């Protein structure tokens, strides 16, 4: 028996993917379904989130197809409403929110801080199931029940709509707790499970980003949970607090909704920024410029994000003074965001940049996020917002930040950690082609929407005036390019799994723990022995350079 | 395979079951403080969860002060006061229960935790009678409101047509709080079983301490709810 086992071991390396591999389908499924390994849970989230992405993406293509001409092509106005609602709800609640924290975050966080697992592994598994159950209920209800309220569920329409708003609400309520518990788990993990010597200032910036994200998840998500619950109570009992005809106030719903839904855009973008810091340092082989600024700007963004929700209510009739306040606070978010962008650029300056596929996405992020961020400042301006409110300008703005920011960073992160996750390399050549198709397609899709929107094209209509035809057509052509590039990615990643070249431990020359102390793919317990950390996460400059720098500083201090 | 740290075991007194610290923790203390921070974060989440209700309450009380004054005068403040005392007492027994576990006094722990559970039960029973009374009277949220008190007779109370809104808030608020009490009772029951099975002892009392924190929060929420709904 012993000999057989060791023979098998010699043939095939044992790693976190091995348990249950050759013991039949049921044992295999059981080892996955009951696992408490953060890496496996991350992979399962990854699969679930990708499915959501494909479903939500298909709806996006259907939207763009309908908008190819002002005439009715595929659906009636009501059906169109259901299609864009499904796109929004799936993409936001079931794809983008869990995308980076639950997949890459789960996989990478314990590796980054030198831990064996997250603080509460079983809670982590429970979060996954909450997401699957909640997401399942919401998706089925949405698609069968043709919910057509948009992803915002504004009243009174959400009450009068005869579609399955109720079940979607229940589903999202359940999925929300997955988000809360994941955030809670990560915060405790970062507080308590750092390896010896891993001080706060030695953590990779991804960890700071995940920490800030978790604060928002823990403190903002319960508000949307209770809001959804109140919406359900309103529908079932007629509580009245959101219904104007019953003495209530629908704008109160909007306040509650945005108290969550604005911070949550930072649940989407903060971890993306964390990935950016990893990509930028690794592929320029340089220490980050201004570590503390990048780290604390994450916290600053998390904090300010709670104070800006009112910018979604500029035209809801709230007091003009409140508008001015929220407009000002909205501008404030620009500062920490810009700090990050400047620090990344400063890191790249004079670095030896290697244009490997993950870095391409980091490059795209900088371009897209600059555009998305600056147009956001424009939207924060009261007079302009009133003109641009509910137009395609908004649609373009948030797609530049959410897709151009989060999704791009997510894809970049997958390209970056893929060799670590599965121990396989993918075709760098195909990755470059897919990237450039995406880059062109994305701009083609959304740049024209800025123009159409500022000329007055309202969002959420299945038809439009003749004069907007060209913008919509460009946009639709762009959506096909995006789809093409996603299909390419899917195929070369599958090819990599089937017969990709074996990945070395550190294919990119990274300096953080997952590259320097963990195999590809990792062992079940991550580290052979508990790592002891003696230096910062990005000490790329050689020892000599460091010494020279220290000497120079000493000399300066002496003179 | 190359796992160099064997699991940490917290040794228990004779007759108890040892506690095995989670494989990813280095020490028992690390495990305890993780649970501690985690519980406090969960409580923070709970506070935010209830906060929206408090905001809604403040807003509508401000809009319809007379309606809220009338509405709360109809609620039976005596029953509310009984429940407040019951919950306060249960917080005390909970704290004593934890103390007993920490000092290995399992009999006392069993008695105190059982008292806490019974207090929860009394609270829910009183709530049941209150709800039954309101349902019989028809003083319910809009969709089910069919009170015999004709709203016109209160034409001197400004905005009385919004009275069902008050009951809507009352039911949602106390309902959500009641669900929290029920969950707490379930958790306490689980602790009683653990105490009986002697898996908790002075060296390892994490779950009962954390459930205690939760129970106190549920108590505190009620302490705010009671005056807001019954007295003001
Ligand atoms: Cu916002």
Q: DSSP assignment of A459-470, as one string?
A: SS-S---GGGHH
Structural domain includes residue A220: yes
Residue with tokens 């129970």: B215
Split at pLDDT 50, 70, 90, the class of A267 is: very high
The mean pLDDT of B142-158, rounded to a whole number, is 66
B164: which chain A residues are within 8 Å (Cβ-Cβ)? 238, 240, 246
Indicate whether A98 pLDDT > 90.
Answer: yes
Q: What is the pLDDT of residue A2?
A: 52
CA-based nearest residue in chain B for residue A529: B4
Split at pLDDT 50, 70, 90, the class of A6 is: low
Indicate whether A7 pLDDT > 60.
Answer: no
pLDDT digits (tens, 9 = 90+) for A497-527: 999 999 999 999 999 999 999 988 999 889 9
Q: Are B72 and B231 in contact (CB under 8 A)?
A: yes
Report CA dihedral (A194, A197, A201, A204) to the nearest 10 degrees: -60
CATH code where residue A236 lies: 1.20.210.10
CB-nearest partner of A530 from B5, B144, B159: B5
Report CB contact under 8 Å: A529, B26. Answer: no
Residue with tokens 């002697």: B198
* Cis bond upstream, residue B148 (ω within 30): no
Mean pLDDT is lowest, of A482-486, A535-539, B123-127, B186-190, for A535-539
Q: What is the pLDDT of residue B4?
A: 46
The mean pLDDT of B48-70, rounded to a whole number, is 91
Counting residues of chain B whose pLDDT is more than 90, the rounded percentage is 61
CB-nearest partner of B45 from A110, A119, A218: A218
Neighbours of B111 (CB within 10 A): 16
Counting residues of chain A whose pLDDT is more than 90, the rounded percentage is 75
Q: What is the pLDDT of residue B135?
A: 85
Backbone angles phi, psi at B41, to 5 degrees: -65, -40
Cα separation of A510 and A278, whole Å? 9
The architecture of the domain spanning B39-231 is Up-down Bundle (1.20)
Backbone angles phi, psi at A147, to 5 degrees: -60, 130
Select from A53, A169, A32 the least CA-distant residue to A100: A53
Residue B27 contacts A where some CB pair is shorter than 8 Å: no
How many Cβ pairs closer than 8 A exist between chain A and B? Answer: 133
Structural domain includes residue A149: yes
Structural domain includes residue A101: yes
Structural domain includes residue A13: no
DSSP letters spanning B88-107: HHHHHHHHHHHHHHHTT-HH
pLDDT digits (tens, 9 = 90+) for A155-164: 888 888 888 8
Split at pLDDT 50, 70, 90, the class of A298 is: very high
Counting residues of chain A whose pLDDT is more than 70, the rounded percentage is 95
Give the Å distances, CA to CA, from B30 to A151, A166, A181, A509. Answer: 42, 42, 19, 33
Cα separation of A398 and A96, whole Å? 12
pLDDT digits (tens, 9 = 90+) for A41-78: 999 999 999 999 999 999 999 999 999 999 888 888 88
Indicate whether B109 pLDDT > 50.
Answer: yes
CB-nearest partner of B143 from A180, A237, A530: A237
Indicate whether A356 pLDDT > 50.
Answer: yes
DSSP letters spanning A435-467: HHHHHHHHHHHHHHHHHHHHTT-BSS-S---GG
Residue B62 contacts A where some CB pair is shorter than 8 Å: no
Indicate whether A9 pLDDT > 70.
Answer: no
CA-based nearest residue in chain A for residue B28: A192
Q: What is the pLDDT of residue B137?
A: 79
B159: which chain A residues are within 8 Å (Cβ-Cβ)? 247
Cα separation of B133 and B135, whole Å? 5
The number of C-alpha atoms within 13 Å of A240 and in the hemisphere containing its C-beta is 23
Counting other chains too, the contacts that B208-212 makes at CB distance below 8 Å and 24 or more residues apart are: B208/B97, B208/B98, B208/B101, B208/B109, B208/B113, B209/B36, B209/B98, B210/B35, B210/B36, B210/B39, B211/B184, B211/B187, B212/B94, B212/B95, B212/B97, B212/B98
Split at pLDDT 50, 70, 90, the class of A1 is: very low
Structure-block tokens of residue B126: 């009183």
> What average pLDDT does chain A have?
91
**Domain extent for A142:** 29-544
B2: which chain A residues are within 8 Å (Cβ-Cβ)? 523, 528-529
Q: Ligand 1 centroid vs A108 CA: distance in angstroms?
A: 29
The mean pLDDT of A80-93, rounded to a whole number, is 94
Q: Are A167 and A138 in contact (CB under 8 A)?
A: yes
Select from A227, A200, A197 the least CA-distant residue to A212: A200
Specify burial of residue A3 (Cβ count, 10 A radius: 0-12, 13-18, 19+).
exposed
The mean pLDDT of A279-288, rounded to a whole number, is 93
Q: What is the pLDDT of residue B148?
A: 61
Nearest-Cα distance to chain A for B32, in Å, is 10
Indicate whether B99 pLDDT > 50.
Answer: yes
Of A1 and B62, more confident: B62
Indicate whether B156 pLDDT > 70.
Answer: no
Q: What is the pLDDT of residue B2?
A: 38
Q: What is the pLDDT of residue A276?
A: 95
When scoring B34, B43, B169 by the number of chain A Cβ atoms within 10 A, the one with the most, hence best to mutate, is B34
Q: What is the pLDDT of residue B6?
A: 62
Q: Are A453 and A391 in contact (CB under 8 A)?
A: yes
Select from A84, A104, A87, A99 the least CA-distant residue to A50: A99
Q: Ligand 1 centroid vs A398 CA: distance in angstroms?
A: 10
Mean pLDDT is lowest, of A238-242, A255-259, B84-88, for A238-242
Q: Ligand 1 centroid vs A164 CA: distance in angstroms?
A: 27
Q: For residue A502, give the 3-state DSSP assignment.
A: strand
Report CB contact under 8 Å: A184, B41. Answer: yes
CB-nearest partner of B165 from A110, A193, A248: A248
Mean pLDDT is lowest, of A353-357, A364-368, B134-138, B208-212, for B134-138
Mean pLDDT is lowest, of A81-90, A237-246, B88-97, B122-131, for A237-246
Split at pLDDT 50, 70, 90, the class of B50 is: very high
Q: Can you give the residue ranges of every domain in chain B? A: 39-231
| Total domains, chain A | 1
Report CB contact under 8 Å: A226, B159. Answer: no
Select from A99, A91, A9 the least CA-distant residue to A49: A99
Report CB contact under 8 Å: B49, A222. Answer: yes
pLDDT digits (tens, 9 = 90+) for A402-436: 999 999 999 999 999 999 999 999 999 999 999 99
Question: Which positions 112-141 of B are in contact with A (Cβ < 8 Å)?
Answer: 140-141
Structural domain includes residue A559: no
What is the C-alpha R_g of chain A? 24
Q: What is the pLDDT of residue B3?
A: 45
Structure-block tokens of residue A214: 């978790």
Structure-block tokens of residue A106: 């789960």
> What average pLDDT does chain B have?
88
Give the Å distances, CA to CA, from B179 to A479, A498, B120, B164, B173. Answer: 47, 50, 11, 22, 10
Query: Residue A421 CA to chain centroid, in angstroms?
Result: 18
Cα separation of A366 and A354, whole Å? 16
Indicate whether A90 pLDDT > 70.
Answer: yes
Split at pLDDT 50, 70, 90, the class of A457 is: very high
Secondary structure (H, E, C), A108-167: HHHHHHCCCCCCCHHHHHHHHHHHHHHHHHHHHHHHHHCCCCCCCCCCCHHHHCCCCHHH
Q: What is the pLDDT of residue A548?
A: 67
Report CB contact under 8 Å: A239, B141. Answer: yes
Backbone angles phi, psi at A388, to 5 degrees: -90, -10
Backbone angles phi, psi at A235, to 5 degrees: -70, -40
Report CB contact under 8 Å: A236, B143. Answer: yes
Residue B59 contacts A where some CB pair is shorter than 8 Å: yes
Structural domain includes residue A130: yes
A110: which chain B residues are within 8 Å (Cβ-Cβ)? 24
Nearest-Cα distance to chain A for B111, in Å, is 30
A184: which chain B residues are within 8 Å (Cβ-Cβ)? 38, 41-42, 45
Split at pLDDT 50, 70, 90, the class of A479 is: very high
Q: What is the pLDDT of residue A237?
A: 86
- Packing angle between helix A165-192 and helix A205-237, nearest 10 degrees? 150
B50: which chain A residues are within 8 Å (Cβ-Cβ)? 226
Report CB contact under 8 Å: B142, A238. Answer: yes
Q: Ligand 1 centroid vs A151 CA: distance in angstroms?
A: 14
Report CA dihedral (A209, A214, A217, A222) to the nearest 10 degrees: -160
Q: What is the pLDDT of residue B1?
A: 36
Question: Which positions 7-26 of B are in contact with A (Cβ < 8 Å)?
Answer: 22-26
Cα separation of A197 and A432, whole Å? 39
Q: Are A539 and A287 in contact (CB under 8 A)?
A: yes
pTM, whole model, 2 decimals? 0.92
Indicate whether A124 pLDDT > 90.
Answer: yes
Select from A435, A294, A271, A279 the least CA-distant residue to A348: A279
Q: In degrees, to the nearest 5, what angle opens at C-alpha A149 toward C-alphas A145 and A151?
A: 100
Structural domain includes residue A1: no
């Amino acid at each position: 028996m012993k000999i057989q086992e060791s023979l098998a071991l010699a043939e095939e390396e044992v790693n976190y993917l091995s348990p249950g591999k050759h013991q039949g389908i049921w044992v295999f499924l059981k080892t996955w379904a009951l696992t408490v390994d953060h890496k496996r849970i991350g992979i399962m989230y990854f699969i679930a989130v990708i499915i959501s992405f494909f479903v939500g993406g298909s709806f996006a293509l259907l939207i763009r197809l309908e908008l190819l001409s002002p005439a009715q092509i595929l659906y009636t106005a009501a059906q169109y409403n259901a299609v864009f609602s499904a796109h929004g709800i799936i993409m936001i609640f079931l794809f983008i929110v869990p995308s980076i924290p639950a997949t890459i975050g789960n996989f990478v966080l314990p590796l980054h801080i030198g831990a064996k697992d997250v603080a509460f592994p079983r809670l982590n598994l429970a979060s996954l199931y909450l997401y699957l159950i909640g997401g399942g209920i919401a998706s089925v209800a949405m698609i069968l029940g043709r919910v057509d309220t948009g992803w915002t569920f504004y009243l009174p329409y959400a009450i009068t709509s005869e579609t399955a708003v109720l079940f979607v609400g229940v589903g999202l309520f359940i999925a929300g707790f997955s988000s809360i518990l994941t955030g809670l788990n990560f915060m405790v993990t970062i507080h308590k499970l750092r390896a010896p010597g891993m001080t706060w200032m030695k953590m990779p910036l991804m960890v700071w980003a995940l920490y800030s994200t978790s604060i928002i998840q823990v403190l903002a998500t319960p508000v949307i949970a209770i809001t959804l619950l109140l919406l359900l109570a309103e529908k079932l009992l007629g509580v009245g607090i959101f219904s104007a005809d019953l003495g209530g106030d629908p704008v109160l719903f909007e306040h509650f909704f945005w108290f969550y839904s604005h911070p949550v855009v930072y649940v989407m973008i903060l971890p993306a920024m964390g990935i950016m810091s990893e990509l930028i340092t690794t592929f320029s082989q340089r220490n980050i410029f201004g570590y503390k600024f990048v780290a604390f700007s994450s916290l600053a963004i998390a904090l300010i994000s709670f104070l800006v929700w009112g910018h979604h209510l500029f035209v809801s009739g709230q007091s003009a003074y409140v508008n001015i306040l929220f407009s000002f606070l909205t501008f404030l978010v620009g500062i920490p965001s810009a700090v990050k962008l400047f620090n990344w650029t400063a890191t790249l300056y004079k670095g030896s940049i290697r244009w490997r596929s993950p870095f391409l996405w980091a490059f795209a992020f900088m371009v897209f996020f600059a555009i998305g961020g600056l147009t956001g400042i424009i939207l924060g301006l009261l007079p302009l917002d009133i003109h641009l409110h509910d137009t395609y300008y908004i649609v373009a703005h948030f797609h530049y930040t959410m897709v151009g920011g989060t999704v791009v960073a997510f894809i970049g992160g997958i390209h970056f950690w893929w060799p670590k996750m599965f121990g396989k390399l993918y075709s760098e050549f195909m990755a470059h082609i897919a990237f450039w198709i995406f880059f062109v397609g994305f701009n083609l899709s959304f740049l024209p929407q800025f123009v159409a929107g500022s000329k007055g094209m309202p969002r959420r209509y299945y038809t439009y005036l003749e004069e907007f035809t060209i913008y919509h057509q460009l946009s639709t052509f762009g959506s096909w390019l995006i789809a093409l590039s996603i299909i390419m990615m899917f195929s070369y990643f599958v090819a990599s799994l089937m017969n990709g070249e074996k990945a070395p431990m550190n294919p990119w020359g990274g300096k953080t723990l997952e590259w320097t102390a963990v195999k590809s793919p990792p062992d079940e317990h991550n580290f052979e022995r508990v790592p002891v950390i003696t230096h910062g996460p990005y000490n790329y400059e050689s020892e000599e350079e460091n010494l020279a720098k220290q000497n120079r500083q000493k000399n300066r201090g002496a003179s | 395979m190359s796992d160099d740290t064997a699991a940490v075991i917290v040794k228990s007194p004779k007759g108890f079951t040892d506690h095995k610290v989670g494989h990813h923790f280095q020490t028992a203390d690390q495990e305890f403080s993780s649970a501690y921070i985690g519980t406090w974060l969960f409580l923070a989440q709970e506070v935010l969860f209830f906060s929206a209700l408090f905001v809604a309450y403040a807003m509508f009380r401000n809009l319809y002060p007379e309606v809220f004054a009338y509405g709360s005068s109809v609620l039976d403040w005596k029953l509310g006061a009984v429940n407040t005392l019951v919950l306060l007492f249960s917080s005390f027994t909970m704290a004593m229960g934890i103390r007993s576990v920490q000092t290995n006094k399992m009999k006392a722990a069993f008695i105190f935790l059982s008292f806490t559970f019974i207090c929860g039960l009394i609270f829910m029973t009183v709530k049941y009678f209150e709800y039954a009374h309101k349902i019989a009277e028809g003083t319910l949220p809009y969709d089910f409101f069919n009170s015999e008190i004709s709203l016109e007779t209160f034409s001197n109370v400004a905005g009385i047509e919004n009275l069902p809104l008050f009951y809507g808030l009352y039911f949602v608020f106390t309902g959500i709080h009641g669900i929290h009490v029920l969950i707490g009772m379930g958790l306490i029951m689980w602790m009683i079983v653990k105490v009986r099975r002697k898996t908790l002892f002075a060296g390892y009392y994490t779950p009962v301490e954390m459930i205690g924190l939760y129970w106190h929060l549920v108590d505190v929420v009620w302490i705010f709810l009671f005056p807001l709904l019954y007295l003001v």
